[in-house]
Amino acid sequence: MAARTPKIPARNTLLSSSLDGMDDLFDFKTKEETAQPQQGQETDGTGLLEMDFDRMEPFPDHKFKLYGGQRLQDMVESIRELGILEPIILWKHEDRHTILSGHNRVNAARLAGLTRGPVVIKENLDHAEAVLIVTETNLRQRSFDDLTFSEKAFCLKQHYDAIKCQGKRNDLLREIEELVNPHEMGKNGTSLENPKKSDAGAAVSEEYGLSRDRIARYLRIATLAAPLLECLDARTLGFEAAYDISFVKAEMQPLMAQLITDGGCRIDTKKSALLHDYARKGKLTEELLRQVITDEKAKKPKNTQPIKIKDTVISRFFDGGQSRKEIEETIIKALELYFARDGGATGQKAG
């Protein structure tokens, strides 16, 4: 029987036109496929190797969330009925087998009672190529719109970094770089502080409807600490607010996440714009950050000017033989008596 060739949907991803070498990474017709089974491996009768799930490990810091709910249940039922139709792509390095594609299949197969599945083993990859396979295969298997904010940010950053490494489309990279770092001045002296007002808003991909401005925001958001990305996905932090606070120093970001999750605080666009401004000017401290987020900075007394009593008023009640302290004590007693009686008669001159 002829060996089964894994079927992967046609590439349909953002900025993919510059990733000319990506298809080579998905060329499964290699000698790696026909390698002899080793310990813990068998063939499934179609030429593909099978491997125990216990020998596989998830990709480190995997950015894509596993399926849940009905989608997971449908996958479990499908695997129970038909088995795993698409092989799991593994990266063999240092005698380890890391999952590049198939985290959801492994999870669902375990729930379906299976202990092993068909695999394709890729070797001779560097870490950057492995990350690109993780990203590309996830984008081929689900819609970009189905991804969470953090997953979209991760995908776009990986594509951007890949293009940057290839040294292609330098014009596009330059524009996006300026949008990602809006506080730097371009060679033409034009400030890009507000990407919405720049001329670099042409769509990078009509299919995804993303402008370079939007991509720049995603690239900034991709730098946020993981707890803040979780807040963004949980919608306890808005997209525009997330962009603003991406300019806050990394060491202060866990405090922001703590104030949101544990303190029940909300960072609206007004607060985030203020934090962005303080961060840009290098004036943001942890104390100031806490004050802005908890609204303490907005709780200043409306009138902090001292109240002065005119000399004509003082001379009306005092004959000038009293010290300042005696006058203050008398005024306090008079006020206490006044408020205790809900009113009071006109005072007499002390003397």
pLDDT 10s digits, 13-57 = 444 434 444 444 444 443 344 344 555 555 544 557 999 999 999
pLDDT at 193: 37
Query: Using one digit for the tens of pLDDT, what is the confidence trace for 239-262?
Result: 999 999 999 999 999 999 999 998
Q: How far is the C-alpha of 146 from the C-alpha of 234, rounded, in Å?
A: 14
Name the least confident of 19-23, 206-210, 228-232, 251-255: 19-23
**pLDDT of residue 227 exceeding 90:** yes
- Cα dihedral angle (76, 79, 82, 84), rounded to 10 degrees? 150
Across 127-131, 215-219, 250-254, 268-272, least confident range: 127-131
In 3D space, the residue among 154, 138, 119, 131 whose CA is nearest the CA of residue 41 turns out to be 119
* Angle CA 69–99–140, to nearest 5: 65
| Structure confidence at residue 321 (pLDDT) | 80
- What residue type is 224 in one-letter code? L
- Which whole number is the average pLDDT over 111-115? 94
pLDDT score for 131: 79
**E strand segments, 96-216:** 96-101, 116-122, 203-205, 210-211
Taking the C-alpha atoms of residue 236 and residue 105, their distance in angstroms, rounded to an integer, is 30
| Confidence at residue 29, expressed as pLDDT on a 0 to 100 scale | 40
Q: For residue 39, what pLDDT is reported?
A: 53
Q: Which pair of tokens denotes residue 108? A: 């669902």
pLDDT digits (tens, 9 = 90+) for 129-175: 787 778 777 777 766 777 889 888 887 887 777 666 655 445 555 65
- Both structure tokens of 15: 């900025």
* Close Cβ partners of 96 (under 8 Å, ≥ 6 residues apart): 57
| Sign of the dihedral defined by the CA atoms of residues 74, 79, 82, 88, in that order | positive
Cα 150 from Cα 223, distance rounded (Å):
10
Residue 268 has pLDDT above 70, yes or no: yes
Q: Beta strand pairing status for 88-93 and 116-122?
A: parallel
d(CA 173, CA 205): 14
With cut-offs at 50, 70 and 90, classify the pLDDT of residue 318.
confident
The answer to whether residue 1 scores a pLDDT higher than 60 is no
Lookup: tokens for 3 = 């060996």
End-to-end CA distance of the chain: 119
- pLDDT grade, residue 10 (50/70/90)? very low
Secondary structure E strands in the chain: 41-43, 49-52, 56-57, 88-93, 96-101, 116-122, 203-205, 210-211
With 80 as the cut, is the pLDDT of residue 128 above it?
A: no
Greatest mean pLDDT among 108-112, 154-158, 166-170, 299-303 lies in: 108-112
d(CA 5, CA 8): 9
Taking the C-alpha atoms of residue 153 and residue 31, their distance in angstroms, rounded to an integer, is 35
pLDDT at 51: 95
**What's the pLDDT score for residue 213?**
82
Say what the pLDDT of residue 95 is: 87
